[in-house]
Chain A
Amino acid sequence: MSETLLSVKNLKKHFAVSGGVFAREVDRVHAVDGVSFDIGKGETLGLVGESGCGKSTTGRCILRLIEPSSGEVWFEGADVTRLGADAMRALRRDMQIIFQDPYASLNPRLTVGAIVGEALQIHGLAKSRRALEERVLELLETVGLQADHMGRFPHEFSGGQRQRIGIARALAVDPKLVICDEPVSALDVSIQAQVINLLEDLQEKFGLTYLFIAHDLSVVEHISTRIAVMYLGRVVEIAPARDLYDTPLHPYSEALLSAVPIPDPTVKRKRIMLEGDVPNPIRPPSGCHFHTRCPIARPDCSQRSPALEEKRPGHWVACHYRG
């Protein structure tokens, strides 16, 4: 792995569940429960898992759109979680985010020009109105939109085009790290490919580093250098993309992979069917969170919680009995 750009250490986020007469905290959702990973400069780390596994919360905690409960996020020599308001605002030029829903992520009352140019205004990156407009035009062209789109409003665009607008907005500040939170999940398949290709082109052109959060394993496999699999707030496996797909070590990763439908009727695979549903994150199972659904669970899996260990070069797994 190349030089590390972002290093997440034991990140936790607990949401309080209040109830009762005085809205006391009665329970906690352990949305992110001790997540650690590194992202190297210029690489794409895929973060996959099913709904409720904490992958989106992890992304937002890194940007402090949600304040993490504990843990460290090291970015270029500084712990992001300890930065003051001003330092944080400055840091926002280096870290950006692309959202899932191309409808909800653009302010319907602003023109495309205002949306894309907002960051330039906030950080005073354009000397004049003229310069601002030129930069916005340049950004629109970079993401494959046209100059005359600048004066239009979001509702005039299709989902794929809106997603391009969101990408242009993120690129406006020349970020080093872009967190892509399910950027293609809301798009049609034929449009998905357009956006994935665009993201790949931009990475090459601007030397971007991506944290690519998604539930669609085929998309993640395609775009990522390395992949981290999350289950109930914890990372259960991190490996180079190809390794993970060829030899998944964690039984959850294995089941997840075998459940992905393959668009080829001639391919017949043995599918590992998981029993039941993801447990409630308010009361996650003791020990290894996966033991309730695990096909190879043994009695002590409910006692001891496994740590991530490097079982093969670059391939980390949190399982007592695999690898």
Chain B
Amino acid sequence: MAENLLDIRGLKTWFKTDDGVVRAVDGVDLHLDRGETLGVVGESGCGKTVTARSVLKLIDMPPGRFEAGEILWKGRNLIPLPAEEMNKIRAREIAIIFQEPMTSLNPVYTVGYQIAEVLRQHENLSRKQAVEGAVEMLRLVNIPNPGKRVHDYPHQFSGGMRQRVMIAMALSCKPQLLIADEPTTALDVTIQAQILELMQEMKDRLGMSIMLITHAMGVVAETCQRVVVMYAGKVVEEAPVEALFANPRHPYTQGLIRSIPRVDRAAAKERLEAIPGTVPSLLTPPPGCRFAARCKYAMDVCVTAMPPLKEVGPGHRVACVL
């Protein structure tokens, strides 16, 4: 196995709200190797975004709180790290891009200025060098005419182009890990294809790792090497991508894969296999397996104890008694 870059162990990120404690991330273990693309999939409220933001400590505290666990970045635990130390890791070692390219850029500054700021903050460059660096980054992400576009404001770019700018900004300090939080959800499908291809190209060129947070199984299948499936704050399955799609072991994963209509199947006219019910509340999560209430194979034992992740194949672990 390749070098372990990021190792999250037993992470619990909870939020205190007026109605009680929301256990958004409730004991998550996952690791990411150097040079790999890890997909983290799940539906809204499964904790995937909070997990991603926890890594960069971008959680507002309060109401948020790290209840337990550690986040090991190259062997160093990030959770007790003071803010200044953390700032040195952000952008330079771990960078993040968000779903909404519209709101992630400051509308009152040119994109060139915004990229140059990141460079100057972390790389100790002169203003001129930083702007040149910004042009270079825009060229890298295939923005046509970068020398001119560097002076444009965010609203002068289309959605897809803005996401390219975000990627350029995130990659400007050559991070080792890029966390992409639903980077293509707000984009049209042809633009999504462009952005996914760009991320792949960047990864190959800069030799970084990617943690791709998404709800789209199709995106995972086409871009990731390994996948972690989350449900209600917990990891329910973890596997290499081929194994996950060929042989999904957790009933939730099976449901996710089977509930999507497939364009490439001629016999697609059969009924979709829907998962009944809705996601449980994270305020008072059920004691046993969190999927038990929606699971067609649920047994008595499922309701009483949460099954731990167990190995069922090479690199394939699943949290299910079956």
Decide if A and B touch, CB cutoff 8 A.
yes
Chain B hits for A197, CB < 8 A:
271-272, 274
Report whether A193 and B262 are in contact in the complex, using a CB–CB cutoff of 8 Å: no
Chain A hits for B222, CB < 8 A:
261-262, 265
* Nearest CB of A to B306, in Å: 20
Chain A hits for B276, CB < 8 A:
194
Closest to B242 in A: A265
Q: Of the candidates B190, B259, B262, B279, which one forms a contact with A50 in the assembled complex, judged by CB atoms under 8 Å apart?
A: B190
Interface residues of A in 287-316 (CB under 8 A from B): none
Q: Of the candidates A196, A246, A261, A267, which one forms a contact with B272 in the assembled complex, judged by CB atoms under 8 Å apart?
A: A196
Q: Is residue A70 within 8 Å, beta carbon to beta carbon, of the partner chain?
A: no
Closest to A246 in B: B266
Report whether B260 and A271 are in contact in the complex, using a CB–CB cutoff of 8 Å: no
Chain B hits for A246, CB < 8 A:
266
0/1 string, A233-256, CB within 8 A of B gives 1 = 000000000100110000000011
Closest to B158 in A: A277
0/1 string, B276-290, CB within 8 A of A gives 1 = 101100000000000
Report whether A222 and B189 are in contact in the complex, using a CB–CB cutoff of 8 Å: no
Q: How far, in whole Å, are A160 and B218 apart by their CA atoms in the complex?
A: 22
Q: Of the candidates B191, B216, B221, B263, which one forms a contact with A265 in the assembled complex, judged by CB atoms under 8 Å apart?
A: B221
Chain A hits for B220, CB < 8 A:
263
Which secondary structure dominates chain A's binding surface?
helix
Q: Is residue A203 within 8 Å, beta carbon to beta carbon, of the partner chain?
A: no
Q: Is residue A278 within 8 Å, beta carbon to beta carbon, of the partner chain?
A: yes
Closest to B193 in A: A259
Q: Is residue A219 within 8 Å, beta carbon to beta carbon, of the partner chain?
A: yes
Report whether B263 and A245 are in contact in the complex, using a CB–CB cutoff of 8 Å: yes
The answer to whether A50 and B188 touch (CB under 8 A), given A158-B278, A218-B261, A273-B193, is yes
Q: How far, in whole Å, are A216 and B263 apart by their CA atoms in the complex?
A: 10
Chain B hits for A262, CB < 8 A:
218, 221-222, 262-264
Q: Is residue A7 within 8 Å, beta carbon to beta carbon, of the partner chain?
A: no
Q: How far, in whole Å, are A265 and B276 apart by their CA atoms in the complex?
A: 26
Interface residues of B in 177-230 (CB under 8 A from A): 188-194, 196-197, 215-222
Report whether A188 and B44 are in contact in the complex, using a CB–CB cutoff of 8 Å: yes
Report whether A50 and B193 are in contact in the complex, using a CB–CB cutoff of 8 Å: no
Chain A hits for B27, CB < 8 A:
none
* Nearest CB of A to B224, in Å: 8
Closest to B231 in A: A190
Q: Is residue B257 within 8 Å, beta carbon to beta carbon, of the partner chain?
A: yes
Interface residues of B in 145-194 (CB under 8 A from A): 158-161, 188-194
Q: What is the number of residues of chain A that contact chain B, defined by CB distance less than 8 Å?
A: 45
Chain A hits for B268, CB < 8 A:
221-222
Chain B hits for A263, CB < 8 A:
217-218, 220-221, 245, 257, 260, 262
The answer to whether A259 and B192 touch (CB under 8 A), given A193-B272, A218-B262, is yes
Q: Is residue B256 within 8 Å, beta carbon to beta carbon, of the partner chain?
A: yes
Q: Of the candidates A160, A215, A218, A266, which one forms a contact with B263 in the assembled complex, judged by CB atoms under 8 Å apart?
A: A218
Chain A hits for B311, CB < 8 A:
none
Chain B hits for A267, CB < 8 A:
221, 264
Q: How far, in whole Å, are A200 and B261 apart by their CA atoms in the complex?
A: 14
Q: Is residue A17 within 8 Å, beta carbon to beta carbon, of the partner chain?
A: no
Q: Is residue A257 within 8 Å, beta carbon to beta carbon, of the partner chain?
A: yes
Q: Is residue B56 within 8 Å, beta carbon to beta carbon, of the partner chain?
A: no
Q: Is residue A142 within 8 Å, beta carbon to beta carbon, of the partner chain?
A: no
* Nearest CB of B to A164, in Å: 11
Q: Of the candidates A192, A194, A277, which one forms a contact with B160 in the assembled complex, judged by CB atoms under 8 Å apart?
A: A277
* Nearest CB of B to A197, in Å: 6
Report whether A242 and B266 are in contact in the complex, using a CB–CB cutoff of 8 Å: yes
Q: Is residue B273 within 8 Å, beta carbon to beta carbon, of the partner chain?
A: yes
Interface residues of A in 188-230 (CB under 8 A from B): 188-194, 196-197, 200, 215-219, 221-223
Closest to B43 in A: A188
Report whether B221 and A277 are in contact in the complex, using a CB–CB cutoff of 8 Å: no
Closest to B271 in A: A197
Chain A hits for B160, CB < 8 A:
277
* Nearest CB of A to B195, in Å: 11
The answer to whether A261 and B188 touch (CB under 8 A), given A193-B274, A197-B272, A271-B193, is no
The 11 sampled A-B contact pairs (Cβ below 8 Å) are A189-B43, A189-B217, A189-B260, A190-B255, A190-B274, A218-B218, A260-B189, A263-B218, A265-B222, A269-B264, A277-B158
Interface residues of B (CB under 8 A from A): 43-44, 158-161, 188-194, 196-197, 215-222, 241-242, 245-246, 255-257, 259-264, 266, 268-269, 271-276, 278-279
| A-B pairs, 4 with minimum CB distance | A261-B218, A222-B261, A193-B274, A193-B259
Interface residues of A (CB under 8 A from B): 50-51, 158, 160-161, 188-194, 196-197, 200, 215-219, 221-223, 242, 245-246, 255-267, 269, 271, 273-274, 277-278
Q: With A189-B259, A259-B189 given, can you name 5 additional A-B contacts, CB distance below 8 Å?
A: A161-B278, A189-B216, A194-B275, A265-B221, A265-B222
